[in-house]
Amino acid sequence: MSDLAFIGLDIGNTRLTASAASGDGQLLLSEERAAPGDADSAIPVLLEMAETALESVRATGGRVAGLGLGFGGPVDYARQRTRQSFHSPGWSDIPLAEVFASRLDIPALLDNDANAGGLAEALFGAGRGCRTVLYVNVGTGIGGAIVIDGAVHHGATTSAGEIGHMVLDPHGPPCNCGKRGCLEALASGSAIERMAREAGLALSGREVTAAAESGNATCRDLVARAAHALGLTIANAVSLLDPDIVVLGGGVPEAGDVWWQPLRESFGTYVVPQAQTTPLVRAELGYRAGVLGAAALGMKAAESVQGAPYTVTDRRPSSGRGAIHRAHV
Ligand SMILES: [Zn+2]
């Protein structure tokens, strides 16, 4: 088992990262390059990066059992094709897993980067040992993943986990998806930035949070409003799913009490009483969630071929919530 490795390709808007990881989530190698402008230029670069990673693993006597692709845009998981990228052209309807599996002759699996990040946190990060993990990534946008028994729950139309596009206010601000008042339009880093602009402040989302932490009353109020909307939505999701833990990744949860306190208050107010004790914790893997998530997809690709799990993580029973002694940040 110890010589087995899984290749992960994280396809971001500005960066491409190739990595190799062991079955217990140790990062063995990682290479990053700037993303070329379109898919036609990016795919040959990704193939070359994957081949280099494969050769590096094999040169040390390791065996690569699978390859995963974490894509920074919507994915048709059932058909293993990209839908589109919101940031670069040419990514529509590409059978990415098939391209890599046939070229490199290893099992390959494609998913979106939020599902990949959630899988990594569930297997190797803040959610390890938990049966059901709700992962929410709060950055420029808001993505999510539901991981049950070490596997992403995709749902009937493979759209499960899209917490960012749950509508809180049908008459609210427009969202990137075309609707109005989605959680993403009310609580993401971009939403905080927009609210600041409406209040006459030319600050980035991160600057608004920093000003709030320094005591600026207007910024404190903006950050609290965003956190309140998120807390309410997570409360509704927890009332429905009853996960063992909620893991919050991305840039916004790096904030301090100005964000976490209103988030917890709102969550506590709106969640069903039985789930009041559900832990809300900060993600542990940071920037590694993307590459480890892609590698974890490689593990899932290998598992689908061999028909049994590679995962070495010990799993606690679902009632083990009380056994999770994790500091609330
Ligand atoms: Zn939306």
Domains and CATH numbers, the chain: 4-118+286-306 (3.30.420.40), 128-282 (3.30.420.40)
- Write down the mean pLDDT value for the chain: 92
Distance 121 CA to ligand 1 centre (A): 24
Distance 180 CA to ligand 1 centre (A): 7
- Asked if pLDDT for residue 25 goes beyond 60, the answer is yes
Distance 116 CA to ligand 1 centre (A): 20
Distance 65 CA to ligand 1 centre (A): 37
Q: In whole angstroms, what is the distance from residue 310 CA to residue 1 CA? A: 9
281 neighbors 126 (Cβ within 8 angstroms):
yes
Distance 105 CA to ligand 1 centre (A): 38
Distance 218 CA to ligand 1 centre (A): 26
Distance 319 CA to ligand 1 centre (A): 34
Distance 210 CA to ligand 1 centre (A): 26
Q: In whole angstroms, what is the distance from residue 67 CA to residue 5 CA? A: 9
Query: For position 307, what pLDDT does the model report?
Result: 73
Query: Each residue of 110-133: pLDDT tens digit?
Result: 999 999 999 999 999 999 999 999
Q: Quick one: pLDDT band at residue 37, thresholds 50, 70, 90?
A: confident
Query: For position 326, what pLDDT does the model report?
Result: 32
Task: Please state whether beta strands 142-148 and 151-152 pair in parallel, antiparallel, or not at all (unpaired).
Answer: antiparallel
Query: For position 23, what pLDDT does the model report?
Result: 94
Distance 119 CA to ligand 1 centre (A): 23
Tokens of 86: 């919101």
Angle between the N-to-C axes of helices 113-124 and 288-306, in degrees from 0 to 180, rounded to the nearest 10:
80
Task: Compute the average pLDDT of residues 278-305.
Answer: 95
Query: For position 306, what pLDDT does the model report?
Result: 77
Query: For position 311, what pLDDT does the model report?
Result: 55
Query: For position 9, what pLDDT does the model report?
Result: 98
Distance 179 CA to ligand 1 centre (A): 5
153 neighbors 161 (Cβ within 8 angstroms):
yes
Distance 189 CA to ligand 1 centre (A): 14
Distance 112 CA to ligand 1 centre (A): 16
Task: Compute the average pLDDT of residues 94-108.
Answer: 96
Distances (CA, A) of 69 to 22, 75, 111, 326: 16, 11, 6, 30
- Asked if pLDDT for residue 305 goes beyond 80, the answer is yes
Task: Compute the average pLDDT of residues 191-218.
Answer: 96
Residue 297 CB partners (closer than 8 Å, separation 6+): 8, 66, 68, 69, 70, 109, 110, 111, 116, 119
